[in-house]
Chain A
Amino acid sequence: MTKNILLVGVGGQGTILAAKILTLGLMEAGYDVKMSEIHGMSQRGGAVSSHVRYGEKVYSPVIEKGSADVLVSFEQMEALRWLEYMRPGSKAVVNSQVIKPTPVIIGKAEYSDKILDEICSKVDATVLDAQAEALAVGNSRVLNILLVGAAAKIMKLDGINWSDIIAKNVKSAFVDVNQKAFARGQELVTAV
């Protein structure tokens, strides 16, 4: 049975590295893996998504609406934007960070303060301040790997040498802080 992890956020938040670490771990665990992302125009501060699918044999690299086993959102409004991609009953990890889109900045729209309430009333969501948690382990930029750690815990992806994969894929000066962030992400959620 193919499993689906959907990572969403805002261009520049590090979703691509997060998806890369996940897919490498899954490949090492012996799964067939496919990953799809859209970049180009959307990376200029627009909404971005990375689709990770794994199982015995994966065909489509794209997650369908209603089929994500976990939604990992790097920003709160993005979680709501992608909520219909979740399989009813699945889990979400939501970074509570707010990044205002242009219509909000220029005063043409409002960033509602009811977004987290709406998410939590509709799905089983763990809301965390990933920036603050990442800063607490040493660097707010590693919030992406912290969220990968949370996703790996929820999907019960144990028995994969995540520390080793992180070590091979981030700059040497940042290995330690990324490994700590991954571990912290694991602590912050419970498995399905």
Chain B
Amino acid sequence: MKILMTGDEAIARGAYEAGVAFASAYPGTPSTEILENVSTYKEIVSEWAPNEKVALEAAAGASIGGARSLACMKHVGVNVAADPLFTFSYTGVRGGMVLISADEPGMHSSQNEQDNRWYAVSAKLPMLEPSDSQECIDMLRTAYDVSEEFDTPVLMRITTRIAHSKSIVSLSDRKNVPIKEYVKEVQKYVAVPAIASKRRRVVETRMGDLKDYSEKTPLNRIEQGGKIGVIASGMCYNYAKEVFGDSATYLKLGFSHPLPDNLLHEFYKLVDTVYIIEENDPYLQQWVERLGYKCVGKPTIPPYGEMTPDVLRKALGQQELNVVTYDDSLVVPRPPVLCAGCPHRGFFYELAKKKDTVIAGDIGCYSLGFAEPFNGMDYIVCMGAAFSSGHGTQQALVAAGKDTRVVGVMGDSTFFHMGINGLIEVLYNNSKTICVVLDNRTTGMTGHQEHPGTGHDIRREPTHEINIEATVKALGAKNVAVVDPNNIKEVRNALNDAYSKDEPYVIITRWPCVLKPMNEADYVEFGKDLFKNKYHVNEEACIGCKACIRAGCPANSMDAVKNKMVIDKLACVGCSVCSQICPKSAIVISEVDR
């Protein structure tokens, strides 16, 4: 049967077909949908982990326990998981284990553009790079065989355009892979220096064996054409095909660490000029040049961004396609915004009014608080850094004799990811950093995944719920305020109370994301009428002062002719924040529209 699948769906399918029994991940664009799709196969134990390190550790443990296992994460997640990754490389596997790294050339939804192919080099792992969805399935099956044959975790590196592009695939049946008998093997799995130093030598031998494999595997192949040569892996192979056509000779590298030196020598005998098409770093280029060959690569090929065919044509000085020209001054940027009814709006509206304040942000929908109209963020470091980085800034400001306050802001999923460590830092070192958890009862930005605080697992089945307020208090926080972020007076009072104290203070806002799939508990806690109200503007009372517009709600705008605010009643979900801001009480609930 032929069907269309994204790369993420295909990797999930590949895991199913390869007989994977355990899979774990933390959501992160563009990798999120892999585990969401894995969880649709009942044969695979599928779990959200609180963070990528835990996901990888759980997958490593499942492998040691004899099961084929999978861990998936976005590129920056591998930084979080790097510690177990490097050690697991030494111990090797029992059941096959694959780590998917979803990189983001072009940074569509990421804070950096790191090239995770280097992790294969530094952690000494075999690496595969599929070019389309069919290869995602086929290569994952191969990856598990490689993992078990060579006793190593395997890195599969994809990019956004692999993860989120659809292409046609053919499906196969699931391979029956029994979970291997557990055997205690201290000399292999206990990573103490005496044992690990012996394993270090094993790893070196393994890399030699994998190099031989790389020379022979059909995943690395020469497609013979003319005298122009192109070397590429992953999605760049497809981009190159568009630009150089079928007349060039290609060295397609599906197994891209260790790299096949002999195959490269053979390739260079066939061609005159060689182009290396790769996104991000000159990984392949450095290999080619180390072996003494000349090539056209970076910096002719740009070192950042996606190497789509139009980018390549321009970089290579080829004829670019004709385009329609138009008056682009008429086009206004359309940045992402907090949705109508977003529970972060009321909080940021109040926080942004605070003077002499540094706001340490974090990764999530609330990152958008940095932008107009709030301008409510001074910096974002990485996932879970709001409290810890905020703490450092607060300590520096105190040391400098300043009264400036620091407010760290992060979401609920981020709190469980790494943020809780930052709160421990604040409490243990007793700084007056104000720590805010914006609990919207879901992992919002990546598309509403459950997490340890929601009480539901990846399949939305009820599970143990870790309560943030109880957790914070158990850590010893004395000042804890739980507020409804749609009640701006409540938010203001909590912030004022926090500013009045020179000790750790935790504010938890608690209201669900308007887009999340609601469950019974949500309706019990937040009411049956959740998001069912509509507001409208009483035009006689509205004085056109635009105060409400400063809440930045996409449902609200000014009618320029009447100079009155107007609410899009299709978009309004009745959060009431704008009505609380209005100095003339002109924004009122519309009973008729309910």
CA distance A141 to B331 in the complex (A): 25
Give min CB distance, B233 to chain A, whole Å.
Answer: 14
Residue A100 at the B interface, CB < 8 A? yes
> How many whole Å from A148's CB to the nearest CB in chain B?
16
Q: How far is the CA of A58 from the CA of B554 in the complex (A)?
A: 38
Once the chains bind, are A102 and B166 in contact (CB under 8 Å)?
no
> How far apart are the CA atoms of A3 and B446 in the complex, in Å?
31
B165/A106 in contact, CB under 8 A: no
Contact assessment for A65 and B310 in the assembled complex, using a CB-CB cutoff below 8 Å? yes
Q: Is the CB–CB distance between B161 and A36 below 8 Å? A: yes
State the interface size on chain B (CB cutoff 8 A): 59
A43-B330 Cα distance, complex, nearest whole Å:
22
Instruction: Please tell me if the beta carbons of A33 and B166 are within 8 angstroms of each other in the complex.
Output: yes
Residue contact A100 to B330, C-beta cutoff 8 Å: no
Is A159 engaged at the interface, CB distance under 8 Å to the other chain?
A: no
Contacting residues, chain A, for B29 (C-beta < 8 A): 39-41
Give the interface size class of chain A: 35 or more
**Nearest CB of chain A from residue B235's CB, rounded to whole Å:** 8
Given contacts A39-B29, A88-B322, A105-B557, contact A59 B2 (CB under 8 A): no
Q: Is the interface of A mostly helix, strand, loop or mixed?
A: mixed
The distance from the CB of B559 to the nearest CB of chain A, in whole angstroms, is 11
Determine which of A36, A62, A77, A119 lies in contact with B332 in the assembled complex, contact meaning CB atoms within 8 Å.
A77
Determine whether the beta carbon of A44 is less than 8 Å from that of B108: no
- Among A77, A105, A112, contact of B554 (Cβ-Cβ < 8 Å): A105
B164 touches A39 (CB 8 A): yes
Q: Note all chain A residues with C-beta closer than 8 A to B330.
A: 77, 80, 112, 114-115, 118
Q: What's the nearest-Cβ distance from chain A to residue B380, in Å?
A: 13
Query: Assuming A33-B168, A64-B310, A106-B549, is B161 touching A47 (CB within 8 A)?
Result: no
Given contacts A41-B336, A44-B365, A106-B373, contact A66 B322 (CB under 8 A): yes
B530 at the binding interface (Cβ < 8 Å): no
- A104 CB contact (under 8 Å) in B332, B365, B447: B332
User: In the complex, which residues of chain B have a beta carbon less than 8 angstroms from the beta carbon of A112?
Assistant: 330
| B167-224 contacts to A (CB < 8 Å) | 167-168
- Cβ of B167: which chain A residues have Cβ within 8 Å of it? 33-35, 58, 61
Give Cα A38 to B368, complex, Å: 18
Residue of B nearest to A141 (CB): B570
Who on chain A is nearest to B108 by CB?
Answer: A38
Q: A105-B554, A105-B557 are in contact. Are A10 and B320 (CB under 8 A)?
A: no
Nearest CB of chain A from residue B587's CB, rounded to whole Å: 15
Q: How far is the CA of A44 from the CA of B445 in the complex (A)?
A: 8
Is A170 among interface residues, defined by CB-CB distance under 8 A?
no
- A37/B4 in contact, CB under 8 A: no
Query: Is A27 an interface residue, CB under 8 A from the partner?
Result: yes
Q: Which residues of B contact A24 (CB under 8 A)?
A: 4
B242 contact set on A, CB distance < 8 A: 59-60, 64
CA distance A37 to B161 in the complex (A): 8
Q: A65-B323, A66-B323 are in contact. Are A109 and B554 (CB under 8 A)?
A: no
A118 to B331, CA, bound (A): 11
Query: Does B502 lie at the interface of the complex (its beta carbon under 8 Å from any beta carbon of A)?
Result: no
Assess the A64–B308 pair: CB atoms within 8 A. yes
**B336 lies within 8 A of A61 (CB):** no
Q: Quick check: A45 and B336 within 8 Å, CB to CB?
A: yes
Say yes or no for B112: interface residue by CB 8 A criterion: no
Give chain B residues whose Cβ lies under 8 Å from the Cβ of A39. Answer: 29, 164, 447
Counting chain B CB atoms within 10 Å of each CB, the highest count among A10, A104, A105, A118 belongs to A105
Residues of chain A with a CB closer than 8 A to B336's CB? 11, 41-46
Pairs across A and B, CB under 8 Å, 30 listed: A11-B336, A23-B166, A34-B132, A34-B167, A35-B166, A35-B167, A36-B161, A40-B109, A41-B445, A42-B108, A42-B109, A44-B368, A45-B334, A45-B339, A46-B334, A46-B337, A60-B239, A60-B309, A62-B165, A62-B239, A64-B310, A66-B321, A102-B371, A102-B552, A105-B556, A105-B558, A106-B549, A106-B550, A115-B330, A122-B325
Known pairs A11-B336, A33-B168, A41-B108 / 10 extra A-B pairs, C-beta < 8 Å? A35-B166, A44-B337, A45-B337, A59-B238, A61-B238, A66-B324, A78-B334, A105-B549, A106-B372, A123-B324
10 smallest beta-carbon distances between A and B, as pairs: A66-B321, A40-B109, A40-B29, A61-B165, A44-B336, A46-B336, A101-B334, A59-B241, A59-B238, A36-B165
